[in-house]
Amino acid sequence: MKTTQALISVASASELIRSGKTLSIAGDESALRQLPLGNWIGGTIPYFMASSGGTVNREDVFVTEVSDFISQPELRFYDESSLSQICRNAPENGYSVVIIPAFSDCHASFAANAPNYEDMYMKPLIGWIAGVHLDDLGKIKPKVVLGTSGEFSEECTVVMDVALPSDKFAQIDIVNLFRPGNGPCITFDDTGFSAGTCQINGAPGNLADYLLNNGIDTRLPLVADYSGAMINVSIKSIDKLSKRVEFYAPVFPGVEYRIAAPVNDYLDAIQSALPKANKEISFSCNCILNFLYSDLEGKRTGHITGPMTFGEIGYQLLNQTMVYLTIIE
């Protein structure tokens, strides 16, 4: 039976909650606070890819119904100190939906440490980074909510653990249209959400100087090849005075990065990369930077819908990437 994945009114979402449905919900904080207690987790964001196209909406909420489980999914908070247990506590056969508030200690810790968590990559982990309307940046903090208690948090991660029957398994896929360009290889000495000094083709350099002096389009992320998977680090800003570059995800030492090659037509490229329409998607999200840089308001990214987020989780933290979950027989 096809599950609900749609941008719907608060009243309609409330009906689903009261009927006992298990849900993952994205919406503006003002909308989420109107929802009743129940079996749901949520995060703040007012940007969505709806069936009608990309939209900014503070009144409605995007609801993803969770089904196919063999027992009622466990819903819980993790703080920064317990976050490393997230995979160990996950079901042996199933998946976990994870929502983390942007700019929190959990966000920074997950970004830097998730690849080394116990059982990471053995148990499917999918989710997103909660955000706010861009007009509210610095004024309102992103939040997550545990629907069973109605508690909102600016610091904790909220997780739904979904156990599947033995004849089904969860598969996570990513759609990343960016590939390394032909520019120099860039490496860093330290892990961090910002960097100045670096090595450019093996010679000492400064990333801010390199980007500015070469007129690099900072809408293009740094891209690295992680064992065959292309992983982006999006550029947030350049501080000319301190000669440092701020990122939306951390860079790591020992990894070779290059500025991405331009994508000429995002919509055409993503249409070509999407799974076939008859493949049922159980969960999906995409990046707000793709929404902004590719001008997706009013445009559709194929048949896949979901929140447009401040970061995507497909096992580890991702940027400028679509992630989606399918349940395979």
pLDDT(155) > 60 = yes
Q: Stretch 165-173: mean pLDDT, rounded?
A: 95
Dist. CA 253–CA 195, nearest whole Å = 11
Sign of dihedral through CA atoms 83, 133, 287, 5? Answer: positive
| Strand order across the beta sheet in which 235-239 lies | 192-195, 244-251, 235-239
Q: Stretch 270-277: mean pLDDT, rounded?
A: 76
pLDDT tens across 126-148, in order? Answer: 999 999 999 998 899 999 999 99
Where is average pLDDT lowest: 75-79, 151-155, 263-267, 321-325?
Answer: 263-267
Where is average pLDDT lowest: 5-19, 25-39, 299-313?
Answer: 299-313
pLDDT computed for residue 168 by the predictor: 95
- 268: tokens are 């055409």
pLDDT tens across 87-106, in order? Answer: 999 999 999 999 999 999 99
Dist. CA 97–CA 112, nearest whole Å = 19
For the chain, counts of helices (H) and of strands (E): 6, 27
End-to-end alpha carbon distance in the chain:
13
Cβ–Cβ < 8 Å for 312, 128 = yes
* DSSP-based three-state secondary structure for 296: coil
Q: How confident is the model at residue 3 (pLDDT cuts 50, 70, 90)?
A: low
pLDDT computed for residue 48 by the predictor: 98
State the pTM of this model: 0.93
Burial 33-55 (b: 16+ CB within 10 A, else e): eebeebbbbbbbbbbbbbeeebb
Structure-model confidence comparison of residues 138 and 157, the more confident one: 157
Q: How confident is the model at residue 278 (pLDDT cuts 50, 70, 90)?
A: low
pLDDT computed for residue 1 by the predictor: 37
For a pLDDT cut of 90, what percent of the chain falls above it? 84
pLDDT tens across 30-69, in order? Answer: 999 999 999 999 999 999 999 999 999 999 999 999 988 9
Q: Stretch 235-241: mean pLDDT, rounded?
A: 95
pLDDT tens across 245-255, in order? Answer: 999 988 999 99
Q: Stretch 223-240: mean pLDDT, rounded?
A: 90
Work out the burial of residue 130: count CB atoms within 10 Å of its CB; fewer than 13 is exposed, 13-18 middle, 19 or more buried.
buried
The domain locations on the chain are: 5-175+267-328, 186-259
**AA identity, residue 2:** K
pLDDT(24) > 90 = yes
Dist. CA 229–CA 226, nearest whole Å = 5
Q: Stretch 202-211: mean pLDDT, rounded?
A: 98
Name the one residue in this structure whose structure tokens are 């001008």.
295
Q: How confident is the model at residue 240 (pLDDT cuts 50, 70, 90)?
A: very high
pLDDT(166) > 60 = yes
pLDDT(280) > 90 = no
- 92: tokens are 């042996």
Give the residue from 181, 224, 218 showing the smallest Cα distance to 292. Answer: 218
pLDDT computed for residue 277 by the predictor: 64
For a pLDDT cut of 70, what percent of the chain falls above it? 98
Q: Stretch 260-289: mean pLDDT, rounded?
A: 85
Q: Stretch 305-314: mean pLDDT, rounded?
A: 96
